[in-house]
Structures are given as structure tokens and as C-alpha cells.
Amino acid sequence: MRTFPHLGFHKPLTFNLHRTDASLWTSIQIHVLLPERRARIGRSCVMAVNRRQYLNVDARNSEAMSHLSPLAGKTLSSSQLTDIPALIAAYYDRKPDPAVSTQRVSFGTSGHRGSSLHTSFNENHILAICEAICRHRKAEGIDGPLFIGMDSHALSGPAQKSAIEVFAAHGIDVRIDEHGGYTPTPVISHAILTYNKGRTTGLADGVVITPSHNPPADGGFKYNPTNGGPADTAITKAIQDMANDFLANGLKDIKRLPYEQARQEACIKGYDFITPYVNDLDSVIDMKAIRDAGVKIGIDPLGGAAVAYWKPIIDRYGLNATVVSDVVDPTFSFMTADWDGQIRMDCSSPYAMARLIEMGDRFDVAFANDTDADRHGIVAMPDGLMNPNHYLAVAISYLFQNRPNWSSELGVGKTLVSSGLIDRVAAEMGRKLVEVPVGLKWFVPGLMDGSLGFGGEESAGATFLRRDGSVWTTDKDGLILSLLAAEITAKTGKNPSAHYHEIIARLGTPYYERIDAAANPEQKAKLSKLTPEQFPLETLAGDKNISKLTRAPGNDAPIGGLKVVTENGWFAARPSGTEDVYKIYAESFVSPEHLRAIQQEAQDAISKVFAA
């Protein structure tokens, strides 16, 4: 028996443990003996507090995930925080060895990420990446401004300096925050699109320096081309390969100016990112409705890049909103630790969000964003912190019924591993569902040409069109998804949590979870190349298979794995790009027991494929 006073549970909780296989996480079902406190943490979290059904965290290994850290939901002591001077010293002092795979430039779905302490995010990496971006721009004829955004991670500042040294040496017209502050991912996308509107030459692009919600010791660097969205795989592979060639030849082909000289170059300009973005928000959100209804709003920027944006938004639109904390600290000492005792600015995690959850009943609706503000976390009673899939379903249902200037032909975009509840919501409204592989980049063409009204991922990232049906951003925007929760509350008199319960009363309750299972490189390669015919099962958990997919139905792009769908559930299996595991996403519309049956049968069948 354990207690969780930091989450509002001061009486013991009972644990039922189920292990289905040594390579699966232990299932921990938690039954709260104090029902009146359930709202503090959320219904889904009550059902499975440390498994993927609620948390959207990157599992490190099965053993770790089977044990909840005693630090989860608590602030850490000073001795447990990141040593910022050592982190920054390592950025400059450690030199990556391109012969070591973990020290090479590696662009995943969200750019290059790593830590200077692991020699995976260091000065040489950024110099090489920026030189590659300069050459990509020249090859593609991109000669407009390059907008730079960054978040509040400690490594973001040094990385921006390195970037300016290279960009200035190439004479690129760079725009950085005029006050030396932080600029969120969606603001960079918005700046690129608004600058490029109506232009055919002199187009802008951008970079964002952020590792998203990752721990304080991490850094990240991503490139957004002229469409404003995440770069596609052809671009990122070209940049990655070129950067690794520069590392291999000792950076001898890189142009660079000393930082102080670079900062004085006429091509490096300060720019007001805040005003254009804030003033334009009324084109995508009904800000007047929020103001007139007097919705009481709580906002936690989690010490991230949006920290300087919320006060101008509140003042500009006269909102009844409170920023519960505007503290910025590179150690993120104000954060409560995630499930494993690490600090993450993950606005999907009830442990990281413990502070705002505890304040939840003070507001009609409350929300937070991760460090680069491309994700959202919505706190609405009675559920507390809403499961991201649940809120996406609510947002889609509301938007497509409350945007009269949107075309009746607009589709709903979702990734293959997002909840099937979205499919049901789209079908109920008679809207086309566009299902794509993981990554917001797949929604960019539809958002640009106006065929998609909404694009969202299960990891609490999404964007949608302006009220007139034109493009807003082509990257995830946590600010507008947060403000949409306030608009929903203002215009319907019910918060998103209440809307979710109305939806599942009509369409069924989803039980969703992600688990990781062991797989060696050979097995992962086999899974990524699997054909539907190679998957042996014709039924899943007692239901006939409706489809077996290895290509996304929305755009025919390879999914790098397999998805099997039945009338009452589905699973998708994909190899991890960084660990010796494969990921099984699964969902049941029957029961938690049916979900476990889907997971078990999926893993058994994939094990047979591996053995074949």
C-alpha cells in the first residue's frame, strides 16, 4: 500500500499487478480508496497511472516503467538538479567522434536532440548542422529571412550563438527576438507563413532550438522550410548527412565568424515576434467570446518559451486569466518530477503537471504548454488533466461544428496511433478522415491547400485552420489548442471534460495504451518491412480483422510497421528509432480486459513473425 499526498491522495491506494510477459511492462491498476479526490489527477490516470494509457512519455526500459519513482510529482532537491555550468562547459569542450553512432548528427521526427554531457549535442554538431542548412538554402534558392526561435533549455542559448556565427558568415538575413528572449515553435511557423503569403521569391524559412519537453540537460535543433512546417525526411536526411560529413572532416569546410563580430553584422536583426502573433490570434480563436463570457482561466507556461506571450495575450483581449507562474530557471527546479523522478516539462504528465492540477478547481479551465509551446495540457474538472486523445476528440467535434466559414469538404487529420475515438467523431459529423504516419509534417500539404481543417497527434500536439478556413500554422501550436479550451467553455457553457463525457456516452469509451517490447536490430528491421500478408492473425481479441495496414490510408506513405483494425479495437506496432524495443499502441472500445487481450495477441503474433 502506498500514499500519494503530492497528488492529493492521503489514504492508501491498492495495487493489482499483472505481468503478461517478461518483456512487457508490469500492469499496475490503481483503485482509489478516496473517490472524492479523483478529480485531482484525472480518471484515466486513476485507471493506469504509470502506463501509456494516460502518460505520453518516452519509456526508457520496461524495468524502469514498472516502478514509480518516489520522487514522482515532487520538486527535487538542489543536489538532484542539472549542473548548468558543467552542462554549458561540456557544450564547448566535448568534441563528438563521428565514428561513434550516438555522437553523430541524427534528425528524428523533431530534429537533432541530445545532451552535451553525452557528447550528442555540442558546439560542433550545431556548427555542422547550420553549415548544412546554409548550403541547403543556396541549393534551393531560398534567400529570404531565416527566423530563429528558441526555448528556455540551458543549451538553447549557446546553440543560438553557434548558429548566428555560421549564418552571419554566410550573410543570411537572420531574425531573432528583439529582446533576446524566447520564441515558441508555433510563432516561428506563423512568422514564416505570414511573411511568405503572396510571395513567390525571397521566401523565408526558420529554425527552432528546442528539445521540446525533454529534461533540462538536453538540447535540440530543428529546421522548418518555406512551408512553415517540420522539414520532410528528404530535407532532414540531406542536412543530417552533410552535417556528419563536416564532422568527419574536422569542420574544415565551415564558414564562421566570432560571435561578437557576427552579432554586429547588418544581416543579424532583432525582430518583434510577439505583437504580430498576439494580434492575429483573433483570426483563429473567438477571443471576444472568451472575454465576454468571463471564463476564469489558469495558465502555466512551465518556464518555457511562451512565458512572455501570455501577458500580452491577456492584456490585448481582456481575458479573465491568471498566469500561475512566470518563473524561468534553466534547472527547472520549480517543476515536479515525472514518473521516473526526472524533470520533464511534459504537459501530458500528471506528475509534471501536479502544481496546476492541484489548482484546477480554482478555474473554469486551466492549461499549460511544454517548453517550446507546441504541445498543450488541459485541466478541466471533473477529470483534472485530460488525456490528450480525449481532448483532441473534443476539439475536433467542436471546431467542425462551430466554424461556419470552413468548407464542408474539409477533412480531419490524425496520426495512425491516435485514438479511434477521433475516427468515430469524424464519422458522426460526416467528415473525411485522413490518417497518416506519425509526425505533424504529414499534415502540412493538407493544411496549406485547405483540404484539412485539423491535424493532430496523440502526443498532445495539433494545429487547425483560421476561422476563415485559411492556414494558421503548419507546425503544432499549443497556445491555440489551449485557448480553444477556453473558447469551448465560453461558447457552450461546458468545459472540454464535460464535452468528452457526452461524446463517449454516444460513441463508446476508449481504453488506450502504449507499451514497449524488446526487439533486436534485425527484428526491428523485419517489423519495419512487414507486409500485411506476413501477419498471421485474421482475428484479434475475438473480432474479425477489418484491415491490416503497412501504409497509411490517408496518404499511402509507409508507416514503418503494422496496424491491425477491428470493429472494437486496434493495435499498431512500430520499431523504435533509438532503442532496442518496438512500440505497441493499442485501443479497445470494450474494456481494459479486452485491451490486454489485444496487446497479448499482437505481441504473440509479432513474436511469430520474428521467429519465421
How far apart are the C-alpha atoms of 530 and 526, rounded to whole Å? 6
Q: Which residues are catalytic?
A: 212
Distance CA(340)–CA(402), nearest Å, equals 40
318 in the Ramachandran plot: left (φ > 0), alpha (ψ -120 to 50) or beta? Answer: left
Exposed, middle or buried by CB within 10 Å (0-12, 13-18, 19+), for 477? buried
Which SS3 state, helix, strand or coil, does residue 197 take? coil
Rounded to whole angstroms, how far apart are CA atoms 259 and 126? 14
Question: Which residues neighbour 533 within 8 Å (Cβ) at sequence distance 6 or greater?
Answer: none
520, burial (CB in 10 Å: exposed 0-12, middle 13-18, buried 19+): exposed
Report whether 262 contacts 164 (CB < 8 A).
yes
CA distance 266 to 586: 53
Give the number of C-alpha atoms closer than 13 A to the C-alpha of residue 588, restricted to the C-beta side: 16
Q: CB–CB of 400/406 below 8 Å?
A: yes
**Residues with Cβ < 8 Å from 491, sequence gap 6 or more?**
286, 289, 293, 402
Query: For 448, which DSSP code?
Result: H
Count H helices, E strands: the chain?
Answer: 19, 25
Handedness of CA 302, 7, 515, 586 (dihedral sign): negative
Q: Work out the angle at residue 282's Cα, subtended by the Cα atoms of residues 281 and 287, and round it to the nearest 5 degrees.
A: 105
The three-state secondary structure class of 397 is: helix
Residues in the chain: 612
Query: For residues 591 and 584, is the Cβ–Cβ distance under 8 A?
Result: no
Cα separation, 138 vs 144, whole angstroms: 11
Write the DSSP symbol of residue 39: G
Query: Is the CB of residue 367 less than 8 Å from the CB of residue 482?
Result: yes
- Tell me which DSSP letter residue 91 carries: H
Residues with Cβ within 8 Å of 607's Cβ and at least 6 positions away in sequence, in order, are: none
- The partner residues of 588 in beta bridges, in order of sequence, read 511, 569
